Amino acid sequence: MKLWLALGAGTLAAAMLAGCGGDSDNDPVPSTDTPAVSGVKLNFMGRYSTGQFDESAAEIPAYDAGTRRLFVVNAQKGALDVLGMNDPANPALVDTLTTSDIAANTEVNSVAVRDGLVAVAVQAPVKTDAGYMALYDAETLELISFVEVGALPDMVAFTADGQYVLTANEGEPSDDYSVDPEGSVSVVDISDPRNPVVATADFTALNGQEDELRDQGVRIYGPGASAAQDLEPEYIALDADGTTAWVVLQENNALAKVDIASATVTEPLLPLGTKDISQDGNAIDASDDDGVINIRTFDGVVGLYLPDAIHAYSAGGDTYLVTANEGDARAWGEDNDAYWGTEGAGCAGDASQGFVEEFRVKHLVHADGFDRRCGDDLPPQLRALGAGGLLNPTTFGYCGAVDGDPGDCREDDVLGRLNITWTEGYRTDSNGDPVMFTAAGVEDPAGDRIMYDTLYAYGGRSFAIWDAEGALVWDSGDAIEQFTASDECMAGAQRNIPCADYFNSGHDEGSAFDSRSDAKGPEPEGLTIGTLGGKTFLFLGLERMGGILVYDITDPTAPVMQDYLNSREDWVTEDTESVLASAGDLGPEGLVFIPASDSPNDKALLVVGYEVSGTTAVYEVEALRD
């Protein structure tokens, strides 16, 4: 009989805390005569392949120790692939769990497992409608119960005591931005798994405070959106005692703090700020079109952290938060011709048909203004601000900017190719309206140009550690790009392919050297944490370049890199789909750490879902000892 079924509600939480499963359980304390763990190394063991290329056929994995099963989100099916792990080197498909028993055409977005319970975040057929959190039996795959939660539940997690399941309800808008649901966090009490009780932590109390939030550094900028509509929960971190959750509001560049018992947002939002790209140690490669690796600093450019995955851990009695600083732009209506408009129609795109905030620097500050991009990639909301953009020559004089002329700053090998958001960085007055300039760079209320003092790029190209109040403790700076550009970095499961030959490559094409430098570089997205020998290790997935970075983060103020393994094998073939069987693993999305105490082979394991190659890879986490 299942533990959750056999025990009453009063003892369930304690039993779950003591039971197997999850990715945060510690290894047994080593005996005193065992050498201490000095580090870790990843070794590729094997993979399961769906045979589906670039269909998001393997995204988020979760593991149940009792059944030795992996549950992997397969977005191409809209379901969970259930993989047997008796032989970790050869995971095998044993079943598929669909959510058609909840409603037709629903889709699985995320999964978490704890002691035989499989919690699933389920998207409604229309993504702006309310979704569901469902519980299934890990062995029989029986639907135990489900409850309605917010729109687009995008991540699901158990609290440490097993009493609650939380979902991050992103509430993304429709593609034309005509419907924009409110973001929220659902807190589901599963003391009785057959009768879950849902409560909702929402952001409606912040409605009317949009200007104050912007002043604090929270990005509130969706067209016509209230604070509650604009805030989009992406990912959840939980403390060790199950009382507090920290929720990433990715597009808003902030965290929310949630009291779990009362299901309320209890603290002011925690804005994450920006990363100064002018500072040594924060350099980036900003161009995908110069044919070389050129990691350098740029005055006047900052990076928005915009993290995706987050995880909490304890060190020295305090809670710390680790984020993968991916970066993410709002891009709705990209394929809608009515949104972009046409040159013949006077560049009159329909702003009610979408919202795209991403724009290249070279197009933003061209001397001929915005209309040269009509019918191509000119957002009508940007065109409504002015006829063109200028660079502040005081800030950008280092690359030749003068009044009315960007100089060499817009060249492809400088800042021209860099993707930034046009929604901030331009000079405004006390009312928040743009200060206008003439095309010659003279401030004039009758002018039709806006002046950019700062350029805001996407993502930190890093991971960061924050304290419980959202204060930055440590950031990896430019270490990831510097490492993947170095001779030390080798890709392939056998570590025999120079990373520098494929620096900042994309994950869905071959021969793509430098192709992501203009965007978010290596694009850290997913992460998880594991403990071995009393030390805490971070496993960080690089979505575009690929591979898993491992850091010892036991001391949150001084993380130390341990290893990097990239099991992508084919980097040359243009049509990567045609060589999928030999390409290896492309596009890491979700990661789960399996401690040795729960592992089917008594070794600590890392499992990674790769959305582009549609593979689920298994790695041994080898403890190194002095």
pTM, two decimal places? 0.94
Co-location of 227 and 363 in the same domain: no
Q: With 60 as the cut, is the pLDDT of residue 25 above it?
A: no
Find the domain containing 235 and state its range. 3-272+307-328+459-625
Q: Read off the pLDDT of each residue in 18-46 and give the average, rounded to a whole number.
A: 65
Last residue of a domain, one of 417, 434, 457: 457
Co-location of 349 and 413 in the same domain: yes
Q: With 50 as the cut, is the pLDDT of residue 11 above it?
A: no
Please say whether the dihedral angle defined by the alpha carbons of residues 333, 186, 272 and 267, taken in this order, is positive or negative.
positive
Q: Read off the pLDDT of each residue in 273-282 and give the average, rounded to a whole number.
A: 98
Asked if residue 592 is part of any domain, the answer here is yes
Co-location of 596 and 524 in the same domain: yes
Q: With 50 as the cut, is the pLDDT of residue 112 above it?
A: yes
Co-location of 21 and 140 in the same domain: yes
Co-location of 311 and 176 in the same domain: yes
Co-location of 18 and 103 in the same domain: yes
Co-location of 416 and 476 in the same domain: no
568-603 pLDDT per residue, tens: 999 999 988 999 999 999 999 999 999 999 999 999
Count Cβ neighbours within 10 Å for each residue of 583-613 and write b for 16 or more, e otherwise: bbbbbbbbbbbbbbebbbbebbbbbbbbbbb
Please report, for the domain that includes residue 244, its CATH number. 2.130.10.10
- For 28, counting Cβ atoms within 10 Å of its Cβ (0-12 exposed, 13-18 middle, 19+ buried), the class is exposed
Co-location of 498 and 379 in the same domain: no
Last residue of a domain, one of 457, 485, 509: 457
527-562 pLDDT per residue, tens: 999 999 999 999 999 999 999 999 999 999 999 999
* pLDDT at residue 21 in the model: 37
Co-location of 426 and 442 in the same domain: yes
Number of separate domains in the chain: 2
Sequence-separated (6 or more) residues with CB below 8 Å from residue 543: 326, 507, 522, 523, 524, 525, 526, 587, 588, 589
Q: Contact 160/17 with Cβ under 8 angstroms?
A: yes
* pLDDT at residue 190 in the model: 98
Per the prediction, the chain carries an average pLDDT of 93
* pLDDT at residue 35 in the model: 84
* pLDDT at residue 337 in the model: 87
Co-location of 152 and 229 in the same domain: yes
Asked if residue 285 is part of any domain, the answer here is no
Q: With 60 as the cut, is the pLDDT of residue 10 above it?
A: no
Asked if residue 92 is part of any domain, the answer here is yes
* pLDDT at residue 14 in the model: 34
Asked if residue 209 is part of any domain, the answer here is yes
* pLDDT at residue 347 in the model: 74
424-447 pLDDT per residue, tens: 999 999 999 999 999 999 999 999
Last residue of a domain, one of 394, 425, 457: 457
- Please state whether beta strands 184-189 and 164-169 pair in parallel, antiparallel, or not at all (unpaired): antiparallel
**Lowest mean per-residue pLDDT among 3-7, 281-285, 333-337, 566-570:** 3-7
CA–CA dist 227, 209 (Å, integer)? 7
pLDDT: is 3 or 133 the higher one?
A: 133
Q: Read off the pLDDT of each residue in 329-347 and give the average, rounded to a whole number.
A: 83
Q: With 70 as the cut, is the pLDDT of residue 7 above it?
A: no
What percentage of the chain has pLDDT greater than the value 90? 91
Q: Report which of 511, 523, 506 is spatially closest to residue 589, judged by C-alpha positions.
A: 523
Can you read off the two tokens belonging to residue 71? 């549950």
Co-location of 126 and 245 in the same domain: yes
